[in-house]
Amino acid sequence: MTAEAASMAPEAPSSVAFSNPQALTDDLYRDSPLSIRPLTTHMGVEVIGAGQVKGTPEWLRRTLNFLWMEHGVLLFRDLDFNEADQVAFSRMFGEQEVHGRLELNSREHPELLYLTNRKDLGLPEIATQSNELDWHSDQTYLPRPALGSFLYAVEVPPSGGNTYWADMRTAYDRLPEETKARIDGTIAIHDYDKVNKSYGGAANDFQKSRTSLCERHPLVRTHPLTLRRTLYLAPRMMTRIEGMDEAESETLFTQLEAAATADDLVYRHNWRAGDAVLWDNARVMHRRDAFSADTIRFMRRTTIRPPVEISVPF
Ligand SMILES: [Fe+2]
């Protein structure tokens, strides 16, 4: 082949042979290796088969990113992830963030945040609680909150410790028009101190150096990737709405939380070891049940940043 002919020849993908379309020994699928099962009517699917795919090929990345944006919550079961596997899988969804609570991160893979009551890992006491965690969306105390959280269960207690997700997008769609008119364009104050007071923690120096940990965000936001309107709630982090006093704000928060946590908008997950859930913090909020302090719950989380240009909630 001349050099000119070679430069015009289609480039063959490295791992897939297209030269013989009838071959049965290539890497092409004749049936989809993935399937989905709805978790609720409005939000969330279980993705079946992703754990059997080798590596993180482009087709898998594109499919899972589409499903994540379409459904808000993706459940994967029977994964067998070490720390490196989890980080590699999570990278399919965007840039990984090293969580500001540096003292809770894995030493080897700082992108991993340990959430566990195990006492043998040298973690500070704030990390090792087994109490209930109330409704929130992750990192709303930051100017550019995470888009994704990917939580993997290493060890789970025999009972308790369930996690719940609530669909704030459908909740917004369902609000009466007069409520939408009242809240569209309003700004909520999210203050990390409020949650720390509830749970007995304090921001570390790194966190304090990075942000004020008190942020203004729209109460109704436009999702940066789907462009759908959605409530943006973190009731235990929000102190008030600008232009409203605390009592009036609290009444409104309670009303919106009730709308977002209607039975048919919530998915409750009873964890098994090897489960992982990826969620969209710009669409769902989550909470956790308490569990017995005599049992062990060991979870690892990665945190996924949105593209930087669209990372400030609007
Ligand atoms: Fe959280």
Distances 60 to 78, 92, 119, 153 between C-alpha atoms, Å:
17, 9, 37, 22
CA of 2 to the centre of ligand 1 (A): 59
Whether 114 shows a pLDDT value over 90: the answer reads yes
Tell whether 23 is covered by a domain. no
CA of 288 to the centre of ligand 1 (A): 8
Tell whether 21 is covered by a domain. no
CA of 183 to the centre of ligand 1 (A): 24
Tell whether 54 is covered by a domain. yes
Tell whether 3 is covered by a domain. no
Element containing residue 198 per DSSP (H, E): helix 192-199
CA of 138 to the centre of ligand 1 (A): 5
274's tokens: 């090897």
CA of 51 to the centre of ligand 1 (A): 24
Residues whose beta carbons lie less than 5 angstroms from ion ligand 1: 138
How many domains does the chain fold into?
1
pLDDT digits (tens, 9 = 90+) for 33-44: 999 999 999 999
**Which residues share a beta bridge with 279?**
73, 149
Whether 247 shows a pLDDT value over 80: the answer reads yes
Tell whether 4 is covered by a domain. no
CA of 37 to the centre of ligand 1 (A): 24
Tell whether 10 is covered by a domain. no
Residue 154 vs residue 236, higher pLDDT: 154
Banded model confidence at residue 1, pLDDT cuts 50, 70, 90: very low
Banded model confidence at residue 12, pLDDT cuts 50, 70, 90: very low
Mean pLDDT of 119-145: 86
CA of 137 to the centre of ligand 1 (A): 6
Tell whether 143 is covered by a domain. yes
Supply the range of the domain harboring residue 214: 33-309
Tell whether 8 is covered by a domain. no
CA of 269 to the centre of ligand 1 (A): 14
Whether 79 shows a pLDDT value over 50: the answer reads yes
Residue ranges of alpha helices (H) inside 72-191 are: 83-91, 168-174, 177-183
Residue 19: its pLDDT value, please?
A: 59
User: Exposed, middle or buried by CB within 10 Å (0-12, 13-18, 19+), for 229?
Assistant: middle
303's tokens: 């945190």
Residue 199: its pLDDT value, please?
A: 66
CA of 286 to the centre of ligand 1 (A): 7
pLDDT digits (tens, 9 = 90+) for 286-299: 999 999 999 999 99
- The enclosing domain of 154 has a CATH number of 3.60.130.10
